[in-house]
Structure 1
Amino acid sequence: MSVTKKHLTLDLDFDLELDFVLVGISSSLRDYRLCHFVYKHTGLAFVRGKEDYIDHKGYLKEKEKDEMDYHIIYERTKQKGTKKHFFTIYRYCDPNFEFEYYIINNRSLDGQALVPELPNFDYFLIVKHFIDQDDLRVLLDDIKSINEVMLTKELDPTSLKSKENLIF
């Protein structure tokens, strides 16, 4: 009796969920000043932090304060183990939570780049959920009209080597 063995190969290809619009911003402004001028030009009232301390039911969230205030990237090194890099982040969520906007600094508090392959951008605007192309164009034009903003450009997050740094 002959036994034939069959090999089954299972290919698990996990794609990162990059369901957001990414815009690079070059500006000499500090992050809080940029948010102020974005508010004046667009009406988007950004607040500091990645998320609110209170959940939708009114209870205090049981997370570390740093986790809600900063976007944290963990770097594993052989010499020092795991190192945390803290990136300042600002958010605006419309009242119905249809849109979420985030402005995140491309430099951490210790100078590490969030997206090293794009060093000319000081900030990234991330728009989660759907935004119409016309609305996006108007938003970019409004941000470009800020005197201290040199460049705004829509970017393709799938083409970035460090795209996983933009997921939160």
Structure 2
Amino acid sequence: MAVHKLNLDDAFDEVLYTLIGMHCTLEDYRLAYLLNKHLGIALIRTSDLDYNNGKASYSIYEWEDEKQLVTWSLVSNISKTETLQQIDYKSLFDTQQNIIKTSHLLTEYKTVNYFLKIDSEFSFSKEKYILDSILNISQIATAYSIDSSQLKSKDNLIFS
């Protein structure tokens, strides 16, 4: 019996996108407002991203530019969940303790607070213009482009 082998490597092209990492201490809604103002976009909050059966939840803001057929996504990199943990030692007082667990969407970039994912690959000059506009926001400490081909956990950036 003959064996047929299908090679699907060329069938699925990798989606091209621009990824920008941002360091800041702002709340997500405030950052979305400032990005809307400085970049001329209209990010709005959508349902949160849930990973590990609800153990980690990341806020996400999206905007679809129908004119240029580009989707902009602002997603938090940090998720903090509070759980009660039983304490083993015997005490007269409360035997439960609140533990806050921190998880990251992209573990390679634990210091990044937010990612701006633009589902289109821009020219270098357009990407530099976007970065310069973001860096002009005084509340953002720094922002830089991230090479998506080097990411180990790039599957976490698939939102839909």
- Structure-2-length-normalised TM-score: 0.74
- Aligned twin of 1:121: 112
One-letter code aligned to 1:158: S
For these two proteins, the number of residue pairs brought into alignment is 138
- Aligned twin of 1:53: none
User: SS of 1:117's equivalent?
Assistant: helix
One-letter code aligned to 1:45: A
- Aligned twin of 1:157: 148
One-letter code aligned to 2:137: I
Q: Distance in 2 between matches of 1:47 and 1:8?
A: 48
- Structure-1-length-normalised TM-score: 0.71
- Aligned twin of 1:70: 48
One-letter code aligned to 2:37: K
Say what the alpha-carbon RMSD is for the aligned residues. 2.4
Structure 1 segments (4+ residues) deviating >2 Å: 5-18, 82-85, 108-111, 129-133
User: SS of 1:23's equivalent?
Assistant: strand
Correspondence 1:29 to 2:20: no
Aligned-residue sequence identity (percent) comes to 29
- Deviation, 1:21, is 0.8
Q: What are the superposed Cα offsets for residues 137-156 of structure 1, whole Å, 9 maximum, x if unpaired? A: 11111111111101111101
Could you say if the C-alpha distance between residues 90 and 9 of structure 1 is closer, same or farther in structure 2, counting changes exceeding 3 Å? Answer: same
Q: Distance in 2 between matches of 1:124 and 1:16?
A: 23
Correspondence 1:47 to 2:38: no
Say whether the 8 Å CA contact 1:85–1:109 is kept in structure 2: yes
- Aligned twin of 1:93: 64
- Deviation, 1:120, is 1.3
Q: Distance in 2 between matches of 1:41 and 1:31?
A: 15
More displaced, 122-131 or 91-100? 91-100
Say whether the 8 Å CA contact 1:16–1:164 is kept in structure 2: no
- Aligned twin of 1:107: 78
From the two aligned structures, give the one with the greater strand fraction.
2
